[in-house]
Structure 1
Amino acid sequence: MENVILIVHLLLALALIGVVLMQRSEGGGLGMGGGGGGAMSQRSAATAMGKLTWILAIAFIITSLTLTVISARNATGTSILDRVGGSAPAAVEPAAPGEGLDTDALLPPPSADGGDAPSVPRAD
């Protein structure tokens, strides 16, 4: 059932795109330009293409809502990540402060002359 509605939805989308592209452009995008002085207050007559656009748009919205309801009904309440791979990582307990630290990684590398640490001048 969901596949049928999805196919109808895609066909409606393509039809809506086609009908909108076939309509005559009236210019005046965002209310600029237009015909005579009273063009903003007058209402143009509804054409067959305009009515078809409204019908397709309403059908598109209905199929969108129907697909949303079907998808929500089929949801199992689990995460998509649970379905993709294995199980979720186990909870890790926090370590005590200083436990598990690699202190060698925190020390500077030994100097070239064989000493333990590079000589750093002290600011006294």
Structure 2
Amino acid sequence: MLQTILLVAMILISIALAGVILLQRSEGGALGMGGGPSGFMTARGAGNVLTRATEILAILFFICAISLTIAGNMSRASQSVINADEVGAIAVGGDTQAPASAAPAPATPAQPAAPSLDDLEASLPTAPSAPAR
């Protein structure tokens, strides 16, 4: 429930932050646009209010992001990424849980997955010996 509330707050803060940033007057005059005296926010006081609002929203954004991370990790605190029982079973060679509905696998002849070096040497033709001079 806390994650949902924080996520909704994060979305609202993000939208408000983008809006406040877009409302600010352009200082750089990129490509010759913006920065002119036309518009409804030409007073210096309006710029200070928008700058202060941007700072507050940015701080709230970071606080909300950190809170979301903490809240997400609190619910997983009792679980481990690596389950020690399963790692031990893998190291021993056994399986921790067999599926209940799985039928036993049919017996297969014991053959290696790939031929061994002995099989390769046995399959090579023998070279005739060179005659003695």
Length-normalised TM-score, structure 2: 0.49
What is the CA–CA distance in structure 2 between the aligned matches of 1:59 and 1:103, rounded to whole Å? Answer: 61
**Alpha carbons of structure 1 residues 81 and 103: separation in structure 2 relative to 1, 3 Å:** closer
Aligned partner letter, 1:69: I
Aligned match of 1:19: 20
Aligned match of 1:92: 91
Question: Would you tell me which structure has more helix in proportion to its own residues?
Answer: 2
What is the CA–CA distance in structure 2 between the aligned matches of 1:56 and 1:18, rounded to whole Å? Answer: 11
Quick check: 1:78 aligned with 2:85? no
What is the CA–CA distance in structure 2 between the aligned matches of 1:119 and 1:25, rounded to whole Å? Answer: 85
Question: What does the per-residue CA deviation read over 1:73-99, in whole Å, with 9 as the maximum and x for residues that have no partner?
Answer: 2223324576xxxx84523359xxxxx
Identical counterparts, % of pairs: 29
Show the 5 A alignment for 1:1-124.
1-27=2-28, 47-79=48-80, 88=86, 90-93=89-92, 104-106=115-117, 107-108=119-120, 116-117=123-124
Aligned partner letter, 1:92: A
Q: What are structure 1's unaligned runs of at least 5 residues?
A: 30-43, 95-100, 111-115
What is the CA–CA distance in structure 2 between the aligned matches of 1:26 and 1:119, rounded to whole Å? Answer: 86
Question: What does the per-residue CA deviation read over 1:87-112, in whole Å, with 9 as the maximum and x for residues that have no partner?
Answer: 84523359xxxxxx7672445499xx
Task: List structure 1 runs of 4+ shifted beyond 4 angstroms.
Answer: 107-110
What is the CA–CA distance in structure 1 between the aligned matches of 2:125 and 2:12, rounded to whole Å? Answer: 72
What is the CA–CA distance in structure 1 between the aligned matches of 2:10 and 2:65, rounded to whole Å? Answer: 7
What is the Cα-based RMSD across aligned positions, in Å? 3.9
Aligned match of 1:38: none
Q: What is the count of residue pairs matched by the alignment?
A: 92
Length-normalised TM-score, structure 1: 0.52
What is the CA–CA distance in structure 1 between the aligned matches of 2:67 and 2:17, rounded to whole Å? Answer: 18
